[in-house]
Structure 1
Amino acid sequence: MKRTIKAMLACSAAMLGTAAAAETMTIGITQNNVGVDSYQTTYEKAFIEAADANPDVEAVVLDAGGDVARQIAQIEDLIQQEVDAIIIWPTNGEAVIPAVRKAKQAGIPVVITNSNIAEQGFDFVSSFSGPDNITQGARAAEIMCDKFKEMGTDTEAQIVQISGQPGYTTAIERAKGFEDRLPEVCPDVTLLESQPGDWNREKSQQVMEAFLVKYDDIDGVYAGDDNMGVGALNAAKAAGRAGDIIFVGATNFSVGYEAMEAGEYWGSIYQSPVDDAKAALQTAIDILGGKELPFLNYFDTPKITQDNMAEFDKPVF
């Protein structure tokens, strides 16, 4: 009888252990390019910390290093591992769609984080978690236009744009938001030219150097993030023309915040990589828990300028 009870207890313990193990969610993430800027580096750190703090989550954290083929291989590997959910920060909004379709076919929910995939892939995605990049671009246009109106130059100003990596959804959407909104609020402002800065400060500085040679009159610069915006500012400072130009960016980096404090950089859009990472992980957890979520699960990204920056903490990235 004792042996029977012991056997039953052992069996019950094994079953409980199996149930506990089954409750653990394995969530894989493949990121765009952690080394390219401090935002993505901070995002990864925050994601790992949030996953480690949750006893029900086991995270598999991967980085594509900006390589589309590598990211596709990582997604396929996560499918083979039979993870419970996959979070993707796309290297390219169109190229990853076939791999996302494979995850859907395997019954694995996919969360797209930070930068959405192309619309034709939406049917294979459970939810997008991140900023509304079109709204960010529109808000940046409003920041720039309001400043021109304050200066009385809104009827004649000429500007240039430094966008992000070509083919990258965030870059496309922020540029679209800016370009669509600017003529609505400042119809007489002329956008002279747009060139990619690839999210890189040094390349953006070179792009701005070329703009300064090509155009004698530049009144404003819109950059797809502050990392590129500060690169443009550095070029203008070296050419002795920074004081004549209004600089507006997006994703307020610490270098952008510092340039605003110095009175050299006018405004940006405030976005936290920590909030971004936590939101992506929570979205995956909620989906696995059966919660109903909106497909576009945005978090707010307000305007920040020299006038209201005291209301915001300095970014940690």
Structure 2
Amino acid sequence: MHESTITARQQQGSFKESAQETTEKVEPARKKNGEKIVIGFSQRRVAGSDWYTNLIRGAEAEAKKHDVELIVLDAQGDVAKQVSGVEDLIAQGVDAVIMNPQDPSGIIPATNKLAQKNIPLVAVNSNLDAKANPVSFVSDDPRDTGYKAGWELAKAASEKFGDRVIKAAMISGYPKELVSQYRRNGMISGWTDFMLEKYGKSNLELVAERFGNWVPDKALPEMQDIATSHPDLQVVFCMSDVMLPGIFTALNNTGLSDKTIIGSIDGTKEAIRKISDPKSGLVVTVSNDPRVQGADAVKIAINVVQGEKIPSLHYITNPVINRENAEKMYDPGSSY
């Protein structure tokens, strides 16, 4: 049913182009018996995150384009609620399920029931435990995205601080979450590789890693606590642009706004605008467009229902956005 190949969007990861395509005439996607395709989307949480909102928006736009019914359920950050939600989708007779899991292994009871009913599972954004056995996983490449952010942040730190020891902190998503671990490892690797090539030594003193749960109101107190304990902090690794407002507020509250530089991930419109402002402290973000992820997950779910070959792993493009190209990359009309 599927093949073990890694694919990526070779074109620029622009949702604007994808959105324009929705005006083109597209034949409705149907099952082999001619019936309408019904896809369930189990989303880990929506409230508080523009990224999650746009993930759903991208999926809904793609489903509408192909005249596919998309049933979206919000687990509200509760694993038990996500499990029961998947059971509801099964009861409604969906043909496939797209899942952004709250917990990679905690959701296994639900994925087991999908397997028992032969309902294909497409994971999106967050990795699942291998036991869940999704037919495909749609995401950015979290290690590579993290690596690019770490490399660019190290480059900016080298220009600002030279080769002396740099005190840094990291604001991650959730503890033990695979995507957080992969991004963390990528960021540290990118930083280290740059510094080894530049100076032949590692100069990073990572004083803390805290977890902002991918939302600004959780990131704020964690960042503020770190900044208060380490008033000589120089660098912040941020795993998502969504958490940046909390980080900016915390650094401003502790008087570190003009003393620290920040590297992040996601490529939101607001983050790109901030990069263009030298006073913001944000020096890089790496694109991870949720609308593209949502749209591509729906495409793959349609294909698997129709019996077509699909990639077991599908990465979207993740271009770097820094002060050299931020003005060009900024789209004031973007919903994201």
Corresponding residue of 2:304: 287
Alignment deviations for residues 124-176 of structure 1 (CA, whole Å, 9 cap, x no partner): 21000121112111111111111122235244211100111234332232122
Partner residue in 2 for 1:14: none
Partner of 1:10: none
Alignment partner, residue 171 of structure 2:
162
Separation in 2, partners of 1:313, 1:49: 22
**RMSD in angstroms over aligned alpha carbons?**
2.0
Cα deviation per residue 1:265-298 (whole Å; 9 max; x = unaligned)? 1111112222111111001112122222221111
Whole-angstrom distance in 1 between the partners of 2:227 and 2:69: 50
- Offset at residue 98 of structure 1 (A): 2.6
Question: Structure 1, residues 60-109: CA drift from partner, whole Å, max 9, x if none?
Answer: 11111111101101112222223111100111111112311221221111
TM-score calculated relative to the size of structure 1: 0.87
For 1:19 and 1:135, how far apart are their aligned partners in 2?
Answer: 36
Contact residue 31 and residue 306 of structure 2 kept, 8 A: no
Q: Could you tell me how far 1:193 is from its partner in structure 2?
A: 1.1
> 2:39·2:98 contact (CA, 8 Å) conserved in 1?
yes
Is 1:92–1:169's contact at 8 Å kept on the other side of the alignment? no
Is 2:41 the counterpart of 1:29? Answer: yes
Amino acid at match of 1:312: M
Q: Which residue of 240, 244, 260 maps to 1:245? A: 260
Distance in 2, matches of 1:167 and 1:91, equals 11
- Report deviation, 1:20: 8.7
- Percent identity between matched residues is 26
Aligned partners of 2:61 and 2:295 also within 8 Å: no
Instruction: State the match for 1:309 in structure 2.
Output: 326
Q: Which residue of 2 aligns with 1:197?
A: 212
Q: Shift of residue 36 of structure 1?
A: 2.6
* Equivalent residue number for residue 289 of structure 2: 272
CA contact (8 A) 1:93 1:167 kept: no
Measured in 1, the distance between the counterparts of 2:31 and 2:216 equals 50
Partner of 1:88: 99
Q: Which amino acid aligns with 2:44?
A: N
The one-letter amino acid of 1:33's match is R
* Structure with more strand by fraction: 2
Separation in 1, partners of 2:32, 2:139: 31
Aligned: 1:298 with 2:309? no
Q: Give the aligned partner of residue 255 of structure 1.
A: 270
CA contact (8 A) 1:233 1:247 kept: no
5 Å matches for 1:79-228?
79-121=90-132, 124-186=133-195, 187-228=202-243
Partners of 1:296 and 1:95 lie apart in 2 by 22
The CA distance in 2 between the partners of 1:198 and 1:76, in whole Å, is 26
Following the alignment from structure 1 to structure 2, what is the Cα–Cα distance between the partners of residues 205 and 153?
A: 29
2:38 is equivalent to residue 38 of structure 1: no
Give the 3-state SS of the residue equivalent to 2:146 in structure 1.
helix
Question: How far apart are residue 261 of structure 1 and its match?
Answer: 2.6
TM-score (norm 2): 0.82
2:273 alignment partner AA = E
Counterpart of 1:259 in structure 2: which amino acid? K
Match of 2:86 among 65, 69, 75: 75
Assess if the C-alpha contact under 8 Å between 1:130 and 1:279 holds in 2. no
Q: 1:21 Cα shift?
A: 6.9
SS class of match (1:125): coil
In structure 2, stretches of 5+ residues that fail to align are: 1-29, 196-201
* Structure 2 residue 246 is the aligned partner of structure 1 residue 231: yes
Measured in 1, the distance between the counterparts of 2:249 and 2:163 equals 25
Higher relative contact order (CA 8 A, sep 6+): 2
Q: 1:188 to 1:27 in 2, by over 3 A?
A: same
Amino acid at match of 2:335: V
Q: Distance in 2 between matches of 1:237 and 1:221?
A: 13
* Aligned residue in 2 for 1:7: none
